[in-house]
Amino acid sequence: MLLRLTFNWQVLISNSYSLVRSFHSLFYLLLLGLSITLAIFFSSKVNANETTTSDSQRFKIHGFISQGLIDVNGSDFVNDDGKLSAELTEIGLNATYQLTDNLRVAGQVVYLEGGNRFAKGTRIDYALLDWSVFSSQQWQANIYLGRFKNNHWLYSSTRDVPFARPSIILPQSVYFDGFRDIAVGSDGIASKLSYSFADYGDLDWQISYGVSPISNKQTSNLLSEFAQGSATQDYDAQTSLYWHPEFSAWRFGLSLLDASFTYQRGRPSTENIFFDSNFIFQFYTFNALYEGESWEFSAEVYQQRFVIDGFYSPTFKLDDIGQGFYLQSRYKLSQRLTLLARYEDFYLDKDDKNGKEQEQNTNGAIPYYFGFHQDTTLGLNFDVTSNFAIRAEYHWVRGTGRLSPVVSPNIQLNNSEGWQMWAVQLKYWF
Amino acid sequence: MAIEVVTHPNVTDMSLTNLQLRRIFTMRQLRWSDDTPINIFVLPSQHNVHQRFSKQHLKIFPYQLNRIWHKLTYSGLGVAPTIVQSERELVNAIINTPGSIGYIQDTGLIKPWQSSQAKEIKQVVSLNEDRQDQEKIAKNDSLNINTKGVVNVIKINF
């Protein structure tokens, strides 16, 4: 039983936020107050100085709406009954307002529906104050306060933006939908430092520190049956470095993540079985991107470390290292039609890559194929206009190591190593 | 047909290197040399002039520009250029927006005062399709010209 749950560490982390909720409300009230104060303070200054930012350029609104169909055979990735589903909806609306030459506020609200993939509903995607600390022809330094997007991985900042990611379903090992609400961003402080060399190209260094909230619905979806206590995220610290050599088609990136969580059992009872515990999650990635006129290649290679101290028993210890990569190629057949091919390979424990050990240790309760995830994807994207596109793709998957709900994996529905899915999606943006 | 880079008359930078131009359109340089903010106007990504400007002047593929701009716009990290639907709309936006920069086809411009006065009053352009305005401008005495309808044409040093 204990081991059955150990490989499902993602869920444990995702329960971390119920206690933090009151803190978040307070945080946003403070942020809102700060923004309004700053806006009032600087608006008088703005009027007096006649700054050069034209009024029409101060305020901008953008958004997107997309709807798709998805059909999964052989797993509960989207739904339990395996039928064709329209649970593939993504809607977003954002606004930015330039308060002064150096201060800007921005926010985005998104509505997501993805079936079992993540909690359905509306959420504040980001809400931030952007302070341009320094800006010159070669340097940019910005500090972001509030709720900001994770901008450290290749597609993390636009994973919910249908036309700004490479496929309808992203590589689940990095962009695991069950882990979305925590990985998508944080509430706290972030900074970005950009420098453009005359000869060596562009360098971007980013650092962020914060905590992530998670909806009650997702927490209950993933954990309630087993963990009745409450969890908090202590911190989420990330940094990344990107280098784009001048006039090169290549770009290279590195990212590091370190996060810590605490679980508190509360009042023990026969149903409240898990113990006070600490979790550590670390994630390192290296990525490379090639953007040519017709061909494009991208890859992310990564390693994660997950440490459990407690939870199953006061003395329980687990320290697993998972590894993976994906290789992606896109070919522009014409200005409007792009083809996609991708291969992804991921295992949750590098010492048990085929999951056999786990199957033995659980006396067959957890089939070996819950230990890995391999996805071969083919797809195409057609840009009908500059603002409207259609996308279709097919996935052949081996392994069920990246499925929600993860605490109680559905062995009945996910009873085979191989499963497939196809999806089509219409996308409009402005 | 050549493409010209145009700015609002209050922009003091009269020439840019192609590296600077690329930094500006990829949102890595947000201010002119006098520290005033840059406002960028572009045509839709599938517009022929945009495609050519992107490849020839910026040495970057239009889809790469889209990615950079989409990332800024939809992740809250920054602000992307304003998209306008036609060259005429683009020129109007440049005329009316201090600190602005954009691009337009050479054939879409007339340059009534490329004589000796051109140096003093900068270059004056308007759209061919706008016949009436063109005539009005042509009838004006160059020394009395209203700044409305005037844009700078920027020299790009490759």
A81-139, pLDDT tens digit by residue? Answer: 989 999 999 999 999 999 998 999 999 999 999 998 988 899 999 999 999 999 988 89
- Chains A & B: contacts with CB separation below 8 Å: 110
Quick one: residue A364, left, alpha or beta (phi over 0 = left, psi -120 to 50 = alpha)? left
Residues (pLDDT < 50) of chain A are 1-23, 25, 40, 42-52, 224
pLDDT given at position B131:
42
- Residue A104: closest CA among A139, A143, A140: A143
- What distance in Å separates the CA atoms of residue A264 and residue A229, rounded to the nearest whole number? 5
Taking the CA of residue A86 and the nearest CA in chain B, the distance in Å comes to: 24
Q: Which residues in chain A touch residue B29, judged by CB atoms under 8 angstroms apart?
A: 137-138, 196
Residue A402 gets which letter from DSSP?
Answer: T
What pLDDT is stored for residue A275 in this prediction?
83
Using a 10 angstrom Cβ sphere, with 0-12 exposed, 13-18 middle and 19 or more buried, the burial of residue A373 is: buried
In sequence order, what are the residues at sequence separation of 6 or more whose Cβ sits closer than 8 angstroms to the Cβ of residue A344? A171, A172, A173, A324, A325, A326, A373, A374, A375, A376, A377
Cα separation of B97 and B120, whole Å? 22
pLDDT value for A4: 38
B40-63, pLDDT tens digit by residue?
999 999 999 999 999 999 999 999
B44–A387: do the CB atoms touch at under 8 Å?
A: yes
Instruction: Give the helix/strand (H/E) hosting B66.
Output: helix B62-75
Please tell me the distance in Å from A138's CA to the nearest CA on chain B.
Answer: 7
A134 exposed, middle or buried (CB, 10 Å; 0-12, 13-18, 19+)? exposed
How far apart CA B46 and CA B44 sit, in angstroms, is 6
Which one of B29, B46, B97 has the shortest CB-CB distance to A386? Answer: B46
CA distance B65 to chain A (A): 11
Contact B75 A52 (CB under 8 A): no
Distance separating alpha carbons of residues A108 and A8, to the nearest angstrom: 31
Which residues of chain A neighbour B71 with C-beta distances below 8 Å?
A: 157-158, 164
Please indicate whether, in this complex, the C-beta atoms of B70 and A57 are within 8 angstroms of each other: no
Chain B residues close to A140, C-beta within 8 Å = 28, 30
Q: Give the model's pLDDT for residue A89.
A: 97
- CA-based angle A238:A183:A169, to the nearest 5? 130
Q: Compute CA A292 distance to the chain's CA centroid, rounded to the nearest angstrom.
A: 26
Residue A387 half-sphere exposure toward CB, CA atoms < 13 A:
12
Which residue bears the tokens 């908090």? Answer: A232
What residues contact residue A41 under an 8 Å CB cut-off, 6+ apart?
Answer: none
ipTM above 0.95, yes or no: no
Return d(Cα A351, Cα A362) in angstroms, integer.
16
Residue with token string 């990246």: A402
Of A57, A135, A151, the CB nearest to B97: A57
Amino acid in the structure at residue A299 = A
Structure tokens at A69: 């169909």
CB A171 within 8 A of CB A300: yes
> Are A56 and B44 within 8 A, CB to CB?
no
The Cα–Cα gap between A15 and A219 comes to 5
Query: Tokens 């055979």 sit at which residue?
Result: A73
Selecting from B28, B64, B99 the residue whose C-beta is nearest the C-beta of A291 gives B64
- Is there a contact between A52 and B37 if contact means CB atoms under 8 Å apart? yes
Pairing of strands B126-127, A418-429: unpaired
CA distance A178 to A132: 34
Nearest CA of chain B to the CA of A127: how many Å?
Answer: 8
How long, in residues, is chain B?
Answer: 158
Q: Is B20 close to A383, i.e. CB distance below 8 A?
A: no
How many helical (H) and strand (E) elements, i.e. helices and strands, does chain A have? 7, 16
Nearest to B123 by CA among B101, B96, B155, B90: B155
- Find, in chain A, the residue whose alpha carbon is nearest to that of B60: A247
Distance from CA of A62 to the nearest CA of B (A): 7
User: Do residues A253 and A118 touch, judged by C-beta distance below 8 A?
Assistant: no
Q: How many CB atoms lie within 10 A of CB A214?
A: 23
The CA distance from B137 to the nearest CA of chain A, in Å, is 25
pLDDT the model gives residue A226: 63
Question: How far is CA A266 from each of CA A227, A231, A282, B74, rounded to the nearest angstrom?
Answer: 10, 10, 27, 40
Of A148, A194, A247, the CB nearest to B76: A148
- Phi first, then psi: what are they for B45, rounded to 5°? -60, -30
Give the whole-angstrom CA distance, residue A374 versus residue A324. Answer: 9
Closest CB from A135, A158, A194 relative to B31: A135
Instruction: Tell me the H-state helices in A356-404.
Output: 356-361
The distance of A149 to chain B (nearest Cα, Å) reads: 6
Question: Which residues in chain B show pLDDT less than 50?
Answer: 112-123, 126-147
CB contact under 8 A, A202 and B28: yes
φ, ψ for residue A107, nearest 5 deg: -155, 155
Nearest to B75 among A60, A158, A202 (CB): A158
Cβ contact B75–A163 (<8 Å): no
- Token pair, residue A351, equals 């010492």
